[in-house]
A = this chain, B = another copy of it.
Amino acid sequence: MSEPVSIHMVAARAGCSIATVSRVINGTAQTSAEVRERVEEAVSALAYRPSEIGRSLKTRKTRTIGIVVPSFTNPVFASSIAGVEEVARAHSRTVLLTATEYHGEREEEIVETLLAKQVEGLVLTVADADNSRALDRLDAAKVPYVLLYNQPARADRYAVSVDNIAGARELVGQLIALGHKRIAFVAGRFRTSDRSLLRYQGCVEAMDEAGLPKPEVLEVDYAGDQPEEPDVLATKLRGLNAPTALFCSNDLLALAVIAASRSIGMKVPGDVSVAGFDGISIGTMIEPSLASIAQPTRAMGTEAMEILHALCQAAPVEPGVRLLQHQFRPGGSIAAAPVESKGGT
């Protein structure tokens, strides 16, 4: 900070030119053993580290990538970020991290900032991958990016996701098999999550096929990752038309829904079954365990970063959405539908 040591000081101490210092440090050309030794001595004596910023300006490569996700505090994002970071480090890349806090309108501004930082590429989860000014901006700037959790309809974008529709269908299929007929879909922010919408769609399809009516929908407000006040949520749940099962668009929401249900005397799964989507690990530790669709979150992060790395080196990569395998995770939070008794709770 105070007196950053530059390549000139190293050269001075080693008694050679800065070009030579650069060469021995990067091993980019032959150097005599003596000079090499002197340079190495100077480097360690001065605790010299070449400035990435000077280097970047010259090479036009920053070896930095940007991540933008809605939130860090949802384990789903946290764990894929961990995957991205791991692979980034393996390729000696650094990660610039940002969160939109679910404000889709911040995406563009954030992307601008990241672009100004000269990131070589981005991994991002946007509100709506098919209608995003942030992505359009990236396309225009020709900066490579890989979407995570989004499933864009456009075939020219790179993305890593699970099949949200299929996952939701599978889960709702399980619910139906358990005898549930009145299933409600509890949604976090359709507008800010195209995933939520796809899961809803999967739910509708499964019910359609079973000859059941469209699911009732409960849209829930959030503050960050925390759904609204438990009692507000409880009141809303009470307002539903006595569903026997609640399919929540994500696990965090499902946990809140279970707590809220409990608070109004609804036993889970005795009175109502509750399922989520994501498969966060805590879901397996609690009682009842949370039925869900597990996504390989960390692997999704590593896969996305591997693709991005390839893209950054202009390696040829087939565009499109990579669908990783999801898995139904059974759990004690769902059970056979209670016997019909004309009108629920």
- Which B residues lie within 8 Å of A52 (CB)? 116-118
Q: Are A287 and B287 in contact (CB under 8 A)?
A: yes
Determine whether A264 belongs to the interface, using a CB cutoff of 8 Å to chain B.
no
Q: Are B115 and A49 in contact (CB under 8 A)?
A: yes
Q: Are A98 and B96 in contact (CB under 8 A)?
A: no
Q: Mark A255-276, 1 if CB is under 8 A from B, else 0.
A: 1101100100000000000000
Using known A-B contacts A72-B72, A144-B1, determine if residue A85 contacts B62 with beta carbons closer than 8 Å. no
Give the complex CA separation of A5 and B271 in angstroms: 62
- Name the contact of A97 in the complex, choosing from B85, B117, B255 (C-beta under 8 A): B85
Determine whether A155 belongs to the interface, using a CB cutoff of 8 Å to chain B.
no
Determine whether A113 belongs to the interface, using a CB cutoff of 8 Å to chain B.
yes
Q: Are A53 and B118 in contact (CB under 8 A)?
A: yes
Q: Are A113 and B94 in contact (CB under 8 A)?
A: yes
Using known A-B contacts A1-B143, A262-B287, determine if residue A78 contacts B85 with beta carbons closer than 8 Å. no
Q: Are A62 and B72 in contact (CB under 8 A)?
A: no
- Which B residues lie within 8 Å of A205 (CB)? none
Give the complex CA separation of A49 and B112 in angstroms: 8
Using known A-B contacts A54-B57, A57-B57, determine if residue A116 contacts B72 with beta carbons closer than 8 Å. no
Q: Are B49 and A57 in contact (CB under 8 A)?
A: no
Which residues of A279-297 have CB atoms within 8 Å of chain B's CB atoms?
Answer: 281-282, 284-287
Determine whether A79 belongs to the interface, using a CB cutoff of 8 Å to chain B.
yes
Determine whether A315 belongs to the interface, using a CB cutoff of 8 Å to chain B.
no
Using known A-B contacts A1-B120, A49-B112, A85-B97, determine if residue A73 contacts B75 with beta carbons closer than 8 Å. yes
Determine whether A197 belongs to the interface, using a CB cutoff of 8 Å to chain B.
no
- Which B residues lie within 8 Å of A226 (CB)? 281
Q: Mark A91-118, 1 if CB is under 8 A from B, else 0.
A: 0001111110100000000001111111
Nearest B residue to A97, CB-CB:
B97
Give the complex CA separation of A114 and B97 in angstroms: 14
- Which B residues lie within 8 Å of A17 (CB)? none
Determine whether A29 belongs to the interface, using a CB cutoff of 8 Å to chain B.
no
Q: Mark A122-166, 1 if CB is under 8 A from B, else 0.
A: 000000000000000100111110000000000000000000000
Give the complex CA separation of A72 and B2 in angstroms: 31
Q: Are A85 and B73 in contact (CB under 8 A)?
A: no
Give the complex CA separation of A216 and B140 in angstroms: 62
Give the complex CA separation of A321 and B270 in angstroms: 50
Using known A-B contacts A56-B53, A82-B72, determine if residue A1 contacts B142 with beta carbons closer than 8 Å. yes
Q: Are B57 and A53 in contact (CB under 8 A)?
A: yes
Determine whether A344 belongs to the interface, using a CB cutoff of 8 Å to chain B.
no
Determine whether A27 belongs to the interface, using a CB cutoff of 8 Å to chain B.
no
- Name the contact of A96 in the complex, choosing from B51, B60, B95, B137 (C-beta under 8 A): B95
Q: A52-B118, A95-B97 are in contact. List 13 more A-B contacts (CB 8 A).
A: A49-B115, A49-B116, A51-B116, A51-B118, A53-B62, A72-B85, A85-B99, A94-B96, A94-B117, A95-B96, A256-B285, A259-B287, A262-B287
Taking Cβ atoms with an 8 Å cutoff, the residues of A that contact B are: 1-4, 47, 49-54, 56-57, 60, 62, 64, 67, 71-73, 75, 78-79, 81-82, 85-86, 89, 94-99, 101, 112-118, 120, 137, 140-144, 224, 226, 255-256, 258-259, 262, 281-282, 284-287
A-B contact pairs, 19 of them (CB 8 A): A2-B142, A49-B112, A52-B116, A52-B117, A52-B118, A53-B56, A53-B62, A71-B82, A73-B75, A73-B79, A75-B78, A81-B97, A82-B99, A89-B98, A255-B282, A255-B285, A258-B285, A262-B287, A287-B287
